[in-house]
Amino acid sequence: MKHTLLVMIGFAWLLAGYSCKKGDQGDPGPAGTANVTYSEWFTPTPYTRDTVFGTWGFYYNKAAPQITQQVLDNGTVLTFGKLLGYVSDIWPRTQVSQLPISITYKFGANPTLDVWSALLSPGNLRIRLTNDRNAYSSVNSIHQFRYIIIPGGTSMARQANLSYHEICKQYNIPE
């Protein structure tokens, strides 16, 4: 009887200790998820024309104080574009892609190449368009862009091949 009582007390003690154990915290998600930031979609206007090595370019500087030297040194900034100024046969209106974006199409009888790029510096994002034939005298001002900042400490190995939609889903970013 004494032995059964000791076993029951020991079992009750073990059960009480187990039930008071701190609960599991669950999957915390990717490191730095809480610190991921993103801009709203913005429409550059006006673009400024420049010439580099004989090729015209058009650029727009977007003030982005969240892009710090720390972010540039240790994090990642992804820039995405919706190129709404093209006809849908060249760029579908629902398509979103990460910059740089290269688009080759017929301009008259000849092929031509447009390249959209994102150049980063502390506090600034520069959107730039070049055309290999200097075909433009201005840029349609309905194209849209946004940037996503993933601070240092977040492994990009998993993000390297994710689509825009998958990145937005992973970091709870409204599309």
At residue 34, the pLDDT reads 64
Residue-wise pLDDT tens digits, 119-136: 999 999 999 999 998 888
Count: domains in the chain: 1
At residue 166, the pLDDT reads 85
Q: Do the domain assignments include residue 26?
A: no
The whole domain housing 87 covers 31-170
Q: Do the domain assignments include residue 8?
A: no
Q: Do the domain assignments include residue 163?
A: yes
Q: Do the domain assignments include residue 117?
A: yes
At residue 159, the pLDDT reads 56
Rounded-to-integer distance, Cα 86 and Cα 90, Å: 6
Q: Do the domain assignments include residue 6?
A: no
Q: Do the domain assignments include residue 146?
A: yes
Q: Which residues of the chain have pLDDT under 50?
A: 1-32
Q: Do the domain assignments include residue 1?
A: no
Q: Do the domain assignments include residue 156?
A: yes
Rounded-to-integer distance, Cα 137 and Cα 147, Å: 27
The residues, any chain, with a CB within 8 Å of residue 120's CB and separated by 6 or more, are: 67, 72, 77, 126
Residue-wise pLDDT tens digits, 56-88: 899 999 999 999 999 999 999 999 999 999 999
Query: Taking a C-beta distance cutoff of 8 angstroms, is the pair 45, 60 a contact?
Result: yes
At residue 81, the pLDDT reads 98
At residue 99, the pLDDT reads 97
Rounded-to-integer distance, Cα 48 and Cα 26, Å: 50
At residue 129, the pLDDT reads 96
Query: Taking a C-beta distance cutoff of 8 angstroms, is the pair 149, 68 a contact?
Result: no
